[in-house]
Structure 1
């Protein structure tokens, strides 16, 4: 910043107080009997009443350890619950691919496929058979 003022200094002090008070906080990874990467996804359909946007969330585990999680509104409107779940699955697959590549860079490759758990049977069928159907053209 080329011209810091009192509000900037106040914000900096607040940040430093927060950091100094949370030095002992952190994530702990424990030894796990498996190195299986697995993910769980769930989404609602048009759950936000104002804009009718869907919310999706996921969590990614390496063995018993939680590595990554997210919950947010989807950018585009979904026309069905299947579409909302499918978009959520696409997000978590992107995240697990990134984690898998990171583990390979750290010389800890995964030798098994990543499991993604989804509670929508139609979204699972669409994921396993990505042929474009009449009802999935817009996805």
Structure 2
């Protein structure tokens, strides 16, 4: 595919891959080999993480449409071969975590399969405690951004409701951290939910914006005299 036409994004947003539709791919070993190579590439190209994760789901029995999805990733890489994760040194002022998860368990707006807000708060508390032991305490609250208004409301005003009983511990855990001033759960519109690049296919404009937010881009231009 050295001469293939580049793709603007690594995943087709028009439809989801199926496990049963279409003909089986005639060379599953090649499919798995390509997937394995792409998995390594995600270390420096987190912008393809979601697309690679999707093709991984069908390694046991890949079909033609799955191979086409894998080729779409290769076509995207073809057009961004000079891109990579650009790391920049910056002072630590606050810890920022992005999550699009809600609260767990029931078929309403509080539902989530991962208890995402509580998980993010738990991880941030571990980091805060580690830095405290290293004599680098963080005085500011950890900012946790969520695009679900109900989850944000429950983080400070837990509602005792039959549908939320099974997540009572999560609610109170986050609420305690909020009351202590260690955490602030803030709303972020879906338009600015950077985590979406890891959870769904996005249109080009949004994908490019979030990719830039991850510091994934081409090498910086060299000034005159630099090599």
Q: What TM-score does the superposition give when structure 2 sets the normalisation length?
A: 0.31
Between structures 1 and 2, the one with greater strand share:
1
Between structures 1 and 2, the one with greater helix share:
2
Q: What TM-score does the superposition give when structure 1 sets the normalisation length?
A: 0.49
